[in-house]
Amino acid sequence: MALIPTEFMRPDRLWWLVLIPILVAVYLFLLWRRRSTSKAHRINNLERVLPKQQAWKRHLAVSLAILALAALNVAFAQPKAEVDVPRDRATIVLTIDVSLSMQATDVAPNRLDAAKSAAKEFLQLLPVGFNVSLVRFAGTAAVVVPPTSDRGTVAAAIDNLQVAPYTAIGEGIYSSLDAIAQAPPDPNDPNATAPGAIVLLSDGFTNIGRDSADAAREAKTKNIPIYTIAYGTANGYLVGEGGQREPVPVNHAELSQVARLSGGKKFSAGSSEELRQVYASIARSVGYVKADQEVTETYAGYAVGFAVLAVLAMMSLAARWP
């Protein structure tokens, strides 16, 4: 991935770049002189054809050589760019809706089982130094596993989740905030506060408990973003007594509001594969932070690459330069 420098540690070295337009001008002058010489003298048919066959290779070789020189000069100036740097520590709360609607089979084998599988995969995407907590909510919410670095404990607790009546998204958020407050201190820096984030998966909307918007605002004041996942499709249903279908379409509005008010981001997933992709995207978001970092080696690598290509282009030539 190309990295665009935001600043240079030795910007005074960039003046060497003035050589680039000079070299281009010299090459264009040589081309012009060659054409002028060709017009002034008669040439046979073989001489007329061969240069045209090789011209694009000469142009390519010169262009690659100039690009290599430019990249080398940028590297010489010690560029810095904004890159993704992995966090050392953070606390992530997996907050999972276990309301009855999560039994809908629009996502095979059903919403909850598919969510369990994807959540366990998500655990493996997080950096080793991260603490993870598990919160489940339906009509009430509870911290199932307090923040821990033991992925096995969290995975086992995910497997044991069971459905229950009602949906209290607000209660799930408040319990998640309580879980983050239980995160153990960094033994190397006990006074430091590690960043935290909530990953909340749900398919419905609040029908009991405290307001989710108020909970999201509370998360915002604590600088804890909530990444919400609206999970399921518009065609989800449960089979009630008598075999009648009870529609349980996924609800997007409330989860969008929660993400916006908390400073997080809202995602949607209508299948197991989409949910895995969403979790991977969230893992990238919470596991890395943007930071300025020297990228000299990157541009030195570009220079070497362009130089090798220029040499190969030159080797393919069976004619001299203009």
* Domains of the chain, each with CATH number or no CATH: 7-82+293-315 (no CATH), 85-290 (3.40.50.410)
CA 90 remoteness from chain centre: 17
Residue keyed to tokens 């011209």: 55
Residues 138, 167: contact at Cβ < 8 Å?
yes
- Strand-pair partners of 133: 93
CB neighbour list of residue 270: distance below 8 Å, 6 or more residues apart? 106, 107, 231, 232, 233, 250
CB neighbour list of residue 299: distance below 8 Å, 6 or more residues apart? 71, 72, 74, 75, 79
Question: Can you give the pLDDT at residue 53?
Answer: 47
- Strand-pair partners of 268: 230
- Using CA atoms of 212, 263, 151, 97 in order, give the dihedral in degrees to the nearest 10: 20
Residues 210, 171: contact at Cβ < 8 Å?
yes
Confidence (pTM): 0.70
Q: pLDDT tens for the chain, 322 residues: list them.
A: 456 766 788 888 888 888 888 888 887 888 777 777 765 555 555 455 545 546 777 778 888 888 888 888 888 888 887 776 667 788 999 999 999 999 999 998 999 999 999 999 999 998 888 999 999 999 999 999 999 999 999 999 999 999 999 999 999 999 999 999 998 877 776 676 778 999 999 998 999 999 999 999 999 999 999 999 999 999 899 987 777 888 999 989 999 999 999 999 999 998 889 999 999 999 888 877 676 777 788 888 888 888 888 888 777 765 454 5
- How do 226-231 and 196-202 pair as beta strands? parallel
Tokens encoding 245 = 């279908």
